[in-house]
Structure 1
Amino acid sequence: MSAGPSRPGGTAEWLRRDAERISGALPPLMAEAERLAHTVVAGVHGRRRAGPGESFWQYRHAVPGDSAAAIDWRHSARSDSYYIREMEWESAQSVQIWADDAQAMDYRSDAAPRSKADRAALLALALSVLLVRGGERVGLMGSAQSRPRPGENQLTRIAMELSLGREQRPDYGAPPADPLTRGGRAVFLSDFMGPSADLFDAIARAAESGVSGALVQILDPAEESFPFDGRVIFRSMAGVVDFETQRARALREAYVSRLAERREMLAERALRSGWQFLQHRTSESPRKALLWLYMAIGGDR
């Protein structure tokens, strides 16, 4: 597929400004998402969950598998049911984000405002803004900032990493083999057009560390609709793949079918691994994907 304009050059200031803009618009959007609105508007990370802590959160009905020691007998004595007293989790969560910067991500058709790489970088930084300001630790995989850290300085460092990019980039990307924080979360932002085995290996490594997360497949609208006709030369961004056809329209049905199969494969593997999956087009507003990510990483499915 011949490429449109490549990823535009930019600075950390430009990228962070855009990330701040779309993340700053989340509170009114969160007002429509009842579970998270009050915590986001109040400036608190909207992901209350049970775990070690000193603050009481809620009572819940005991279920098979709960130990007798966990039952609140005083509260249970007031009814004919057994209740578990849950405390609110108080430790910060670690989230590591991979924004695919392979050459395939540079593709942009006339139907999209920016490339897939730009959208991945913007979502990565905007999500980092929300997480850090909610008291969480964030790291950018494949960079010097892979280790999750809190604070505004980490946001600046991540913005610089996303803006500068790498000199040597492969045709298609794969999640880097960075150490993952045990029990943390991970977010992979990519077109996932490369070998699926690399992605599945990364998810398996994450599972070994007790890490779950979210996959966001970012595609250009032309990659979904396949609007090509007549003689077309399809060439990968690095020139590794080169294919010429005189009847591009005749390939559309097979192409769309293969793309749907890959999407179903990604969604199925995500479900089996306890991850979540989203398909996002670069012609869509990034706010919708950012809201989905913010909710998905919280664990309140």
Structure 2
Amino acid sequence: MLTPEYLHALQNLPLAARRAAEGLLHGAHLSRRKGAGMEFSQYRPYQPGDDLRRLDWRLAARSDRYYLRESEVDTSLVVHLVLDATASMNHQDDNGLSKLHYGRLLCAALAYVATQQGDAVSLTILHPGGLRHLPPRADARQLSRLYHALETTEAAGQFPDSATLAPLTARRQPALTICVSDLYEASGEIERLLTRLRAASGEVLLLHLMARNELDFTFKGAITFEDLETGQQLQLDAGQQRRAWQQHLQQWLRDTAQRARSHGFDYHQLSTAEPLTGALREFLRRRARG
């Protein structure tokens, strides 16, 4: 299993994405939709504006009616990647890997897998300076665009306001939205955005990213915690507070998962210490349910 530290150390996002996906795509099923591919599926009546090259002229000569040959192709859906790039994603695990580093690797690998499956991929990076959005495309250069956007992203500030987020949900387009976030929010703003995205696109896979030192509370002695988004500080003794911290965290994780599922999201918790394989398999399972 390739560790996230190893993939990050490659300092080559395209290579890391390919390596992370190795072995997962073998035998993966491609969903199918009607289109202009090679395998014949059915006829349908001609409509103004249709491509005349797809007309069946022999059938037209026999029936005096115009029909198009519909076929099946292997492009099946739009995958919309949403990466949280607010300041809390700068939190580093004991391995030196930040949540943003892991999120970049994960989004790159998801984009690679989706592209290999024939899907159109889009990317939205959320930060207070405004949305960075690449619309969905399935052309050969889209991966390069996505990799560049991810490589040049830095985490900063708080979650964008509702006016900044409005363009994301203004247009309804069927898609599988995959959000990578630590879900640290002030007043439910991430939950509201994902609820609107689900209404606009249909499906949401929420990948909740946590650092292992948060989950296991590996801190020792007197320590000062700082909220990376507000600057608020909290001083405590790690040994005295470990049990209470872990109890509070586990309750928050249970509540978060329950709320996400009550909104109809597919929820999956990740650790920055885990290989990317689990999240990629979750995507492929969700895609296969289609």
TM-score, scaled relative to structure 1: 0.70
Deviations 1:155-214 (A, max 9, x none): 100100001115x82156899442465221101101112235112211221232142121
Q: CA deviation at 1:230?
A: 2.7
Counterpart of 2:122 in structure 1 is 139
CA distance in 2, matches of 1:210, 1:140: 14
Q: CA deviation at 1:104?
A: 1.4
Long gaps (5+) in structure 2 = 43-70, 126-130
Q: 1:230 to 1:107 in 2, by over 3 A?
A: same
Identity %: 21
The residue type equivalent to 1:141 in the other structure is T
The residue type equivalent to 2:109 in the other structure is A
Q: CA deviation at 1:273?
A: 2.7
> 1:72-151 maps to which residues of 2 (within 5 A)?
92-110=76-94, 112=95, 114-142=97-125, 144-151=132-139
CA distance in 1, matches of 2:136, 2:120: 5
Counterpart of 2:228 in structure 1 is 237
CA distance in 1, matches of 2:10, 2:141: 13
Counterpart of 2:153 in structure 1 is 165
Q: 1:26 to 1:123 in 2, by over 3 A?
A: same
Match of residue 191, structure 1, among 171, 182, 197: 182
> 1:33-44 maps to which residues of 2 (within 5 A)?
38=27, 40=28
Q: CA deviation at 1:254?
A: 2.7
CA distance in 2, matches of 1:136, 1:210: 15
The residue type equivalent to 2:88 in the other structure is A
Counterpart of 2:14 in structure 1 is 16
CA distance in 1, matches of 2:158, 2:201: 30
Q: CA deviation at 1:237?
A: 3.0
Deviations 1:68-97 (A, max 9, x none): xxxxxxxxxxxxxxxxxxx98966311111
The residue type equivalent to 1:146 in the other structure is L
Match of residue 221, structure 1, among 212, 219, 231: 212
Counterpart of 1:3 in structure 2 is none
Match of residue 212, structure 1, among 185, 203, 206: 203
Q: 1:277 to 1:122 in 2, by over 3 A?
A: same
TM-score, scaled relative to structure 2: 0.72
3-state DSSP class of the match of 1:98? strand
- Conserved 8 A contact 1:127-1:294: no
Match of residue 273, structure 2, among 265, 278, 283: 283
- Conserved 8 A contact 1:145-1:158: no
> 1:50-89 maps to which residues of 2 (within 5 A)?
55=41
- Conserved 8 A contact 1:103-1:238: yes
Q: CA deviation at 1:130?
A: 1.2
CA distance in 2, matches of 1:120, 1:157: 17
Deviations 1:196-250 (A, max 9, x none): 51122112212321421211111111101112333111113356121112x2222
Q: 1:13 to 1:109 in 2, by over 3 A?
A: closer
- Conserved 8 A contact 1:101-1:173: no
Structure (1/2) with the larger strand percentage: 2
Counterpart of 2:192 in structure 1 is 201
Aligned-residue Cα RMSD (Å) equals 3.2
The residue type equivalent to 1:287 in the other structure is T
3-state DSSP class of the match of 1:295? helix
Counterpart of 2:143 in structure 1 is 155
CA distance in 1, matches of 2:81, 2:152: 17
